[in-house]
């Protein structure tokens, strides 16, 4: 049942290297073959919640304060136009990328390619089995990039999990040739220190540079040693991707000793993650700028020389930010939205107990010029609807909605759903539309919801962790002008100049 203009009270109290050259990916048409997911690449296990939290969730559903289990609700200006359930890749759905009439959807078991020429009826073009969390995904020209952030027996798509304490274990970047969308071809693998949790493309005419974000080093891991206070930079020649290689490891947090110079975390800053690398980086090539969300720190840096990025400014929020997760520039490059993934994505943080300033977005103005630019905090934004303590919910991946003179964004909030909001006035952000499903259950906290929600050529696409691929249409005078902006390619972490 779909309820339009669904409203609910905000007062309720819901819980205080095998060689990669020439390797073929396992193409799937009916059922998986070859490799199978292993422990370490499987979804987050359900968590128990208190009897009182279970009762509160059931009461909230009965009273209409939250949607019923799996019930879809949305604001009147959002239309749910399509859902494509999971097929032969049962793992966790992750990030999205776009090119022409295709959408590329990451999954912990591999990736799926959709034909979205008719957004109301997407069609599966290919499904590739290649296990390895998170399988963060990007595309550029004929190349597709896939992050592996779990320790594997080798770099092949038939690998199995293997302890990170073993020197022979592999983690890093995989590269596919997608010139034939129905038959992606695995062409290269590059091992990187501590694997690749996420990655960001800095494309050039002849080469694609890849900024690899990873973290959590350990002295017992041969290929992931502390302090790990930077990022790996991979250079991929477009005409010879098999020659892809790491060309540098720029240190973003210089400091003495084994811990580097990033945020020390607890106990110095209780509840804040220690900075041991970056979680995600967004580049704005048209401005030679990048913003890094790096665990305990947010940074602004120049990418004029892509092999040698230079930090311009660095900020911390040791009161309300637990884990700096991702970043989004506005079109004018005078603001950055950073997200705080409080609870690591598996926690129930959209409740009254957590409050409006934690697990939220932090909006920063960029003031000054050149290398003297500074990040200045203005406000927080969090969805205005409390969720049950059986729903994981926190700020996650989103993108701009391109409207001149306005700062509009669509964003995933896991089981908090998809939110469209405005930060034109960076001190007074506000939500203008939403879409969500009710909790997956009321007896335990089950990991699910929208991982990524991005605007592309007139529609919003969401990769839902358990429910599959969603397509939404927003109809609102504030976002309508974006319909006229069409891109040939979109990797959200490589932000385009929408109006160039």
80-121 pLDDT, tens digit per residue, is 999 999 999 999 999 999 999 999 999 999 999 999 999 999
Residue 259 pLDDT: 78
Coil, strand or helix: which one is 150? strand
Candidates 144, 138, 131, 125; CA nearest to 188 is: 144
Mean pLDDT for the stretch of residues 274-286: 97
- From residue 445, alpha-carbon distances to 342, 383, 388, 429 in Å are 15, 19, 9, 29
* Tokens, residue 229: 């206070």
Residue 6's SS3 state is coil
Rounded Cα distance, 83 and 435, in Å: 13
Using an 8 Å Cβ cutoff, are 412 and 428 in contact? Answer: no
Write out pLDDT tens, residues 47-67. Answer: 999 999 999 999 999 999 999
DSSP track, 296-338? TEEEEEE-SSTTS-EEEEEE--TTT-S-EEEEEE-TTSSEEEE
Q: Measuring CA to CA, which residue among 366, 341, 229 is closest to residue 289?
A: 366
Please tell me whether the peptide bond between 445 and the residue prior to it is cis, using omega within 30 degrees of 0.
Answer: no
Nearest to 438 by CA among 469, 415, 470: 415
- Average pLDDT estimate for 30-50: 57
Per-residue pLDDT, 34: 31
How many angstroms separate the Cα of 392 from the Cα of each of 73, 94, 266? 17, 15, 24
Q: Torsion-angle region of residue 266: left (phi > 0), alpha (psi -120 to 50) or beta?
A: beta
pLDDT at 78 over 60: yes
Query: Tens digit of pLDDT for each residue in 294-346?
Result: 999 999 999 999 999 999 999 999 999 999 999 999 999 999 999 999 999 99
Number of CB atoms found within 10 A of residue 10's CB: 11
Residue 24 tokens read as 């073929």
Cα radius of gyration (the chain)? 21
Do residues 196 and 172 lie in contact, with contact meaning Cβ atoms separated by under 8 Å? yes
- For CA atoms 211, 328, 142, 25, the dihedral sign is positive
Q: How far apart are the first and last CA of the chain?
A: 42
Mean of pLDDT over the chain: 91
The strand order across the sheet containing 468-474 reads 78-84, 468-474, 459-464, 450-456
Question: What mean pLDDT comes out for the span 236-258?
Answer: 94
DSSP state of 134: E
Least confident range from 7-16, 64-73, 108-117, 202-211: namely 7-16
Residue 28 has pLDDT above 90, yes or no: no
Are the C-beta atoms of 158 and 26 separated by less than 8 Å?
yes
Q: Which residue has the tokens 């892509």?
A: 306
> From CA 400, how far away is CA 398, in angstroms rounded?
7
Closest CA relative to residue 89, chosen from 73, 103, 108: 108
pLDDT digits (tens, 9 = 90+) for 408-427: 999 999 999 999 999 999 99
How sure is the predictor about 39, in pLDDT bands with cuts at 50, 70 and 90?
A: very low
> CA–CA distance from 189 to each of 110, 186, 232, 491 (Å)?
15, 8, 14, 20
CA-closest candidate to residue 355, choices 313, 325, 386: 386
Tokens of 276: 């041991």
pLDDT at residue 126 above 60?
yes
Q: Is the peptide bond before 267 cis (omega within 30 degrees of 0)?
A: yes
* pLDDT score recorded for residue 45: 86
175-186 residue pLDDT tens: 999 999 999 999
Q: How many Cα atoms within 13 Å fall on the side-chain side of residue 493?
A: 30
What's residue 436's pLDDT? 98
Distance between CA atoms of residues 253 and 35, nearest Å = 38
């Amino acid at each position: 049942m779909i309820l339009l203009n669904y409203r609910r009270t905000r007062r309720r109290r819901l819980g205080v290297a095998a060689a990669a050259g020439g390797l073929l990916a396992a193409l799937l048409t009916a059922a998986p073959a070859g490799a199978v997911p292993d422990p370490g690449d499987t979804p987050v296990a359900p968590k128990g919640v208190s009897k009182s939290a279970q009762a509160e969730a059931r009461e909230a559903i009965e009273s209409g304060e939250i949607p019923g289990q799996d019930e879809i609700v949305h604001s009147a200006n959002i239309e749910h136009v399509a859902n494509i359930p999971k097929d032969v890749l049962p793992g966790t759905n992750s990030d999205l990328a776009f090119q022409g009439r295709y959408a590329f959807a990451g999954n912990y078991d591999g990736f799926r390619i959709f034909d979205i020429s008719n957004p109301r009826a997407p069609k599966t073009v290919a499904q590739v089995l290649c296990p390895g969390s998170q399988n963060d995904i990007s595309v550029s020209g004929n190349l597709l990039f896939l992050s592996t952030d779990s320790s594997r027996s080798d770099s092949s798509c038939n690998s199995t999990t293997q302890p990170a304490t073993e020197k022979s274990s592999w983690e890093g970047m995989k590269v596919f040739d997608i010139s034939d969308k129905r038959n992606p071809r695995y062409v290269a693998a590059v091992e990187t220190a501590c694997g690749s949790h996420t990655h960001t493309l800095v494309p050039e005419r002849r080469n694609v540079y890849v900024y690899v974000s990873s973290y959590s080093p350990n002295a017992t891991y041969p290929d992931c040693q502390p302090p790990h206070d930077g990022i790996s930079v991979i250079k991929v020649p477009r005409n010879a991707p098999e020659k892809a290689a790491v060309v540098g490891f720029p240190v973003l947090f210089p400091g003495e000793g084994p811990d580097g110079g990033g945020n020390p975390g607890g106990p110095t800053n209780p509840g804040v993650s220690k900075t041991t690398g970056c979680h995600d980086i967004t580049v704005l090539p048209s401005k030679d700028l990048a913003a890094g969300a790096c665990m305990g720190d947010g940074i602004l840096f120049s990418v004029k020389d892509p092999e040698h990025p230079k930090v311009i400014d660095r900020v911390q929020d040791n009161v309300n930010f637990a884990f700096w997760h991702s970043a989004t520039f506005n079109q004018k490059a005078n603001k950055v939205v950073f997200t705080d993934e409080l609870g690591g994505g598996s926690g129930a943080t959209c409740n009254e107990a957590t409050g409006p300033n934690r697990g939220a977005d932090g909006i920063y103005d960029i003031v000054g010029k050149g290398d003297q630019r500074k990040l200045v905090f203005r406000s927080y934004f969090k969805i205005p609807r409390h969720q049950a303590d059986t729903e994981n919910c926190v700020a996650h991946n989103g993108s701009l909605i391109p409207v001149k003179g306005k700062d509009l964004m669509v964003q995933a909030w896991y089981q908090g759903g998809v939110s469209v909001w405005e930060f034109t006035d960076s001190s007074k952000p506000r939500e203008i539309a939403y879409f969500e499903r009710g909790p997956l259950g009321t007896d335990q906290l089950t990991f699910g919801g929208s991982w990524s929600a991005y605007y592309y050529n007139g529609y919003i696409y969401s990769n839902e962790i358990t429910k599959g691929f969603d397509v939404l249409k927003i109809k609102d005078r504030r976002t309508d002008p974006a319909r006229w902006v069409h891109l040939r390619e979109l990797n959200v972490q490589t932000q385009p100049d929408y109006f160039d």
